[in-house]
Structure 1
Amino acid sequence: MREPSRDYGALRNLMVQDQLVRRGITDQRVLRAMGRVPRELFVPEHLRHEAYDDHPLPIGQGQTISQPYIVALMAEALELKGRERVLDIGTGSGYAAAVLACMALEVFSMEKIPELARQAENNLRDAGFSQVRVRCGDGSLGWPEAAPFDGICVAAGAPAVPDALKEQLSVGGRLVIPVGQEHGLQRLLCITRRSDQRFDRKEYCDVRFVPLLGQEGWS
């Protein structure tokens, strides 16, 4: 049976107002980015009718695309102004990288699962975001050759904040990451680098992410 046609632009605008603005997202750069990126191109075709629903969706390989509000909350926590270099950990389908590409000068994105990395590159190209650089590798170790970064956004739960990612922050840069000592439940943190040795920490809310697998994540 053929899927009925949908006005994804209207659904996107409704998502921005109902799921983001009403929950307190105020950064206009975030709202514009979320209103621009065609989320339906970053979910499996058979789930496109749920692309703008208020929940995560499976994207294969045991991974998910986060619900729109969480993507917006993490992007807002980075406090981007438009000239930053950003590292996105856990590319998944590429959706968050596309949102960040609307808000920053450069976006580097890392995905541990080769099949997802390839699919994310295709999704980003099809959606018009081919400038995002995608690498397959251990995201818990970051992307040292491209560092330092003004923002790092991690879409997977770590047992602790990886030192490698902290060290790849520029002074004044922010690292947004879910951290928790058990699988499936974390606290969303924002780590701000104030100097070579000083880092501030801010807590947001409880979240549920897939585990960050790697040398400085879960084994």
Structure 2
Amino acid sequence: MSLPLNTTAAHPEDPTTVARYHMIEQQIRPWDVSDSEVLDLLARLPREEFVPAAYRGMAFMDMEIPLLGQADEALRQGHCMLAPRIEARLLQDLQVQPTDRVLEIGTGSGYMAALLACRAERVVSLEIHPVLAQTARDNLSRAGIQNADVRQADGARDPIPDGPFDVIVLSGSVAEVPQGLLALLREGGRLGAIVGQEPMMRATFVRRTGNQFETTQPWDTVAPRLQGFAEPSRFTF
């Protein structure tokens, strides 16, 4: 999907433009994000328009941004935007193509869905919280994104009838790769998730080839949990 250039780009002295530039140059490029198309998209898509008004001044900071209620509770529940560098690296490493059908679990504000939609043919994004689902729809509509469908659903439990998908991305962390989602990948499809336990998790990418699944874990990070997915038992003997 084509996206109009951000009009503030014509005014390099504009504080928002300067902050966006520093986000890209100081946070995202140093995190091995070098894909020129991804970097150009980050420069054009107005991230600040997907941030709640109370936190708009933090839109370009290297941090998660709360989306509902009190900040600590929002982060604990996974109701947040991921840090910009994580969004950018996931987008780059999934190698989204213009013909791809994409499934996102955890819509949040809709920003990652917008990034994916600008690269893909179609995006289906599932959000468990009804208020966030509607907020994301509104944000995507204002941004002119027409090829992303936000649905209020539990990506861990509810049926997903739209598969198979070329790309599946989990916008939050899980304890392990959900095996049920792997079945929704078509031949050559890729799943990206942040997997593990604090204090260290791994970005995990799974590619389907026939009935085989090849897994790579190229970088470490930490991200808030997605709701609904199973946690390992904490019982000890």
TM-score (norm 2): 0.82
Q: Secondary structure at the match of 1:156?
A: strand
Pick from 140, 143, 149: which aligns with 2:165?
149
Q: Counterpart in 2 of 1:54?
A: 62
- 2:226 corresponds to which letter in structure 1? L
> Can you list the C-alpha shifts for 1:137-164, whole angstroms capped at 9, x where unaligned?
1112576311111111101222221111
Q: CA deviation at 1:91?
A: 0.3
Correspondences of 1:28-177 after superposition (within 5 Å): 28-60=36-68, 62=74, 63-141=79-157, 144-177=160-193
Q: CA deviation at 1:115?
A: 1.0
> Can you list the C-alpha shifts for 1:80-128, whole angstroms capped at 9, x where unaligned?
2221111111000111111111111111101111111111111111122
Q: CA deviation at 1:165?
A: 0.8
Contact 2:41 2:115 in 1 (8 A): yes
Larger Rg: 2
Contact 1:192 1:199 in 2 (8 A): yes
- 1:123 corresponds to which letter in structure 2? N
| Fraction of identical pairs, as percent | 34
Q: CA deviation at 1:177?
A: 0.5
Distance 1:145 1:184, change over 3 A: farther
Contact 2:200 2:222 in 1 (8 A): yes
Q: CA deviation at 1:185?
A: 4.8
- 2:65 corresponds to which letter in structure 1? L
Q: Secondary structure at the match of 1:118?
A: helix
Contact 2:167 2:185 in 1 (8 A): yes
Corresponding position: 1:217 with 2:233: no
With 98-107 and 23-32 compared, the bigger mean Cα shift is at: 23-32
Q: CA deviation at 1:176?
A: 0.3
Q: Counterpart in 2 of 1:198?
A: 212
Unaligned 5+ residue runs, structure 1? none
With 144-153 and 6-15 compared, the bigger mean Cα shift is at: 6-15
TM-score (norm 1): 0.88
Q: CA deviation at 1:22?
A: 3.0
- 1:204 corresponds to which letter in structure 2? P
Contact 1:43 1:51 in 2 (8 A): yes
How far apart are the structure 2 equivalents of 1:143 and 1:6?
46
> Can you list the C-alpha shifts for 1:150-208, whole angstroms capped at 9, x where unaligned?
1111012222211111000111111000111x46752210011111x200000022322
With 163-172 and 23-32 compared, the bigger mean Cα shift is at: 23-32
Give the count of matched residue pairs: 212
- 2:165 corresponds to which letter in structure 1? F
Distance 1:203 1:146, change over 3 A: same
With 86-95 and 55-64 compared, the bigger mean Cα shift is at: 55-64
